[in-house]
Amino acid sequence: MALLEIRNVVRRFADFTAVDGVSLQVEAGEFFTLLGPSGCGKTTLLRMIAGFDAPDEGELLLDGQSLRGIPPEHRPIHTVFQSYALFPHLTVAENVAFPLRMAKVAPDDIRRRVQDALEAVHLSEKQRHLPHELSGGQKQRVALARGLVNRPRLLLLDEPLGALDAKLREEMQMELINLQKNVGITFVFVTHSQAEALALSHRIAVMNRGHVEQLDEPSRLYSFPRNRFVADFIGKINMLEAAVLRSTAEALVLDVAGVGEVWAPALPAVAAGQRGMFAVRPEQVRIQSGEVAPAGVGHNQVHGRVLDFLYIGDVTTYLVELANGTRLEALLPNTAPGRAKFFEADDPVTLTWSSQVGVFLDA
Amino acid sequence: MRRSPLLWAVALAVYAFLYIPLVVVVLYSFNDSRLNAEWVGFTLHWYRVLLNDGEMLEAGANSLLIAFVSATFATLLGTMSGIAMHRFKLRALPLLVITPVAMPEILLGVSLLIFFVQVLNFTLGLFSVLIAHITFCVGFVAIVVRARLAGMDESIFEASRDLGASPWQTFRLITFPLILPGVIAGALMAFTLSIDDFVITFFTAGVGVHTLPLQIYSMIKIAVTPEVNAVSTLLMTLTLGMIIVASRFAPDALKGAA
């Protein structure tokens, strides 16, 4: 049985439907992420799990038991808020002790468990400080310790890294992964950052307009997006209009605008004549100098001219314009030290990619 | 930081305008003369007169009692309405609570008088004054408490529930300690407003009860003697003392009013 089951949950507000028939299951011990742009319903869903809001239709079950009518204080679920929501008049140790006090744990046990929890987040020496004396990252850690100290069945995290700067965010990501692994508590994480979701999660539900668009492991989401929204939202991707020429068990042959015949991984559900988009990631497209001769059937290849490039440090992204005006991005790692680019604007180049990469999207 | 001399001058003028009359009142309470006209010499005579003035002492005791009781009830009710105004976004509620604050005192006084005498058929006295004072003080406390809550991160209260606290525990352990400075500031305001209120008291006291402002007023109808200065000085000292105590007890109590 799944730890948390969400069954056909609908939540309507005055003029729009925030959550529109979401069903999903979170397994015990999982690091589960709800990913989507703002307004997609992920926070509303989280608030219903925590008990701050209730579904208009459908049901939430924890360990098979309905959560209907159970107030937040009686749910074995804790939340780490985006703003951390530390109690400003209590010290770090008192903040962490709060859930234990509410659960009427013996004072000696409270002291010991608060120590352990603060040690786990490396904040033992700050226990007598007030929240306003802490940095953003430290507040974040206190909120985590406070959420975990009473060992909830489920820890909800509402964009907890949103307020941190980039470097600290990366550190905290590592810590979150380790912490979740060590404590073995199920995490449900909400974020609009696809990079964060990919780095942290075991599974991700991509949400849009109150629906779950796709629920999958990070690598599958990235490689096999099910529709345009997911493809576009997760990472960078080139999208080209395409029509299906042939669909076989081994491959899908497409007619892609501006490129011609393209071989793509097989999709059994797709039939010849269907129209849609061919999507391929910039790092899967190889860029070579000059006009290379066609390498034969099954090798996707197209000529173009470098329009522009963007040096990022570890890689450079080249924007290439094809003969018909279609633009494609290709990514090249900067392996030669001291060189920001391998091509100049207006250089003729050839783009190639394997028939094993890219995906046809009909929706 | 550099400030323009003009700004300094304006600030000084404003403070002078506010405080010089107060200083004069205090100084002349020690003046050995029947008139508040020129400085003759130092004396404590007017304080002795004050201490032997039974009516004045009784009025003072009444004022203190009324201020204490009405501040207590107004703080209780005002805190509750402040929280209610913050939590339930009802448009009518702030209107109902704040109207007595904005209403001209004379109107409030007259309408309370009519209400007590004609509607309730009530004998005016200590009780009617108390009800009247609580009525006009509640709004002030409510405004201060709501202002305090308005600046707070709403998720703090959700976090408390989330971590296992019942609504009552959340109020006791989180909400109340956080609004306490506002509550204290509100209580101080209510106390001061009540102790020096003249207009509303005048209409609702009848003949049964005398308060300090009423007593002073009836004295200066005859002649202003430095006894009035003496009693004013004591009143000022009391108010000042309360502010000092409050700022010791809750250092940001006065910030709560902002």
Q: Which of A76, A68, A62 is closest to A25 using CA atoms?
A: A62
Which of A72, A83, A86 is opposite residue B161, by nearest beta carbon?
A: A72
Q: Which helix (H) or strand (E) holds A60?
A: strand A57-62
Task: Kindly identify which residue of chain B lies nearest to residue A104, measuring between CA atoms.
Answer: B164
Edge-first strand order for the sheet with A251-256 is A260-265, A251-256, A238-247, A275-280, A359-361
A→B interface, C-beta within 8 Å: 50-52, 71-73, 77-79, 81-83, 85-89, 98-99, 102-103, 146-147, 150
Task: Kindly identify which residue of chain A lies nearest to residue B180, measuring between CA atoms.
Answer: A89
Choosing among B152, B156, B162, which should be mutated to test the A contact, i.e. which has the most A CBs within 10 A? B162
pLDDT of residue B251: 55
Q: The pTM is what? A: 0.80
CB A309 within 8 A of CB A341: yes
pLDDT of residue A9: 95
Average pLDDT, chain A: 90
DSSP annotation string for A55-112: -SEEEEEETTEE-TT--GGGSSEEEE-TT----TTS-HHHHHHHHHHHTT--HHHHHH
Maximum C-alpha span of chain A: 78
Query: Chain B partners of A88 at a C-beta cutoff of 8 Å?
Result: 156, 178
Q: Residue B88 has what DSSP assignment?
A: S
Which of B153, B155, B163 is opposite residue A146, by nearest beta carbon?
A: B163
Q: Which helix (H) or strand (E) holds B200?
A: helix B199-204
Close Cβ partners of A185 (under 8 Å, ≥ 6 residues apart): A148, A151, A152, A153, A154, A155
Shortest Cα–Cα distance, A74 to chain B (Å): 6
Contact B158 A81 (CB under 8 A): yes
Where exactly does CATH 3.40.50.300 map onto chain A?
4-229
Which of B162, B169, B178 is opposite residue A78, by nearest beta carbon?
A: B162
CB B143 within 8 A of CB B236: no
Shortest Cα–Cα distance, A316 to chain B (Å): 42
CB A238 within 8 A of CB A228: no
- Taking residues A291-296, report their average pLDDT: 72
Task: Kindly identify which residue of chain A lies nearest to residue B159, measuring between CA atoms.
Answer: A85
Right CATH for A236-361 from 3.40.50.300, 3.30.70.20, 2.40.50.100, 2.60.120.10: 2.40.50.100
Q: Which of A41, A311, A315, A34 is closest to A194 using CA atoms?
A: A34
Which of A73, A78, A85 is opposite residue B166, by nearest beta carbon?
A: A73
**Collapsed DSSP state (helix, strand, coil) of residue B237:** helix
CATH 1.10.3720.10 fits B50-255, yes or no: yes
Choosing among B157, B163, B252, which should be mutated to test the A contact, i.e. which has the most A CBs within 10 A? B163
A313, amino acid identity: G
At A189, phi and psi to the nearest 5? Answer: -115, 135
Task: Kindly identify which residue of chain A lies nearest to residue B154, measuring between CA atoms.
Answer: A85
Query: Chain B partners of A51 at a C-beta cutoff of 8 Å?
Result: 161-162
Query: Chain B partners of A103 at a C-beta cutoff of 8 Å?
Result: 164
Neighbour tally for A205: CB within 10 Å: 25
Task: Kindly identify which residue of chain B lies nearest to residue A53, measuring between CA atoms.
Answer: B158
Beta partners for residue A329, in sequence order: A319
CA B90 to chain centroid: 27
CB A227 within 8 A of CB A361: yes
Task: Kindly identify which residue of chain A lies nearest to residue B158, measuring between CA atoms.
Answer: A52
Which of B153, B163, B178 is opposite residue A99, by nearest beta carbon?
A: B163
Report the sign of the C-alpha dihedral through residues B211, B217, B220, B226, in that order: positive
Query: Chain B partners of A102 at a C-beta cutoff of 8 Å?
Result: 163-165, 169
pLDDT in tens, A254-285: 999 888 889 998 888 888 889 999 999 999 99
pLDDT of residue A299: 81
- Taking residues A125-130, report their average pLDDT: 92
CATH 3.40.50.300 fits A4-229, yes or no: yes
Q: Which residue has the tokens 């066609």?
A: A294
Which of B162, B177, B178 is opposite residue A79, by nearest beta carbon?
A: B162
Shortest Cα–Cα distance, B162 to chain A (Å): 5
Close Cβ partners of A165 (under 8 Å, ≥ 6 residues apart): A136
CB A156 within 8 A of CB A188: yes
User: What ipTM was predicted for this assembly?
Assistant: 0.82
**Is residue A349 pLDDT above 80, yes or no?**
yes
CA A350 to chain centroid: 33
CB A302 within 8 A of CB A259: yes
Contact A79 B178 (CB under 8 A): no
**Collapsed DSSP state (helix, strand, coil) of residue B86:** helix
Contact B177 A71 (CB under 8 A): no
Q: B181 or A51, which is more confident?
A: A51
B→A interface, C-beta within 8 Å: 153, 155-156, 158-166, 169, 173-174, 177-178
CA distance A202 to A223: 15
Contact B162 A72 (CB under 8 A): yes
pLDDT beneath 50, residues of chain B: 253, 256-258
pLDDT in tens, A206-253: 999 999 999 999 999 998 898 999 998 988 899 999 999 988 888 899
Q: Which residue has the tokens 């629920």?
A: A215
- Taking residues A325-337, report their average pLDDT: 85
CB A172 within 8 A of CB A22: no
Contact A89 B163 (CB under 8 A): no
pLDDT of residue B257: 42
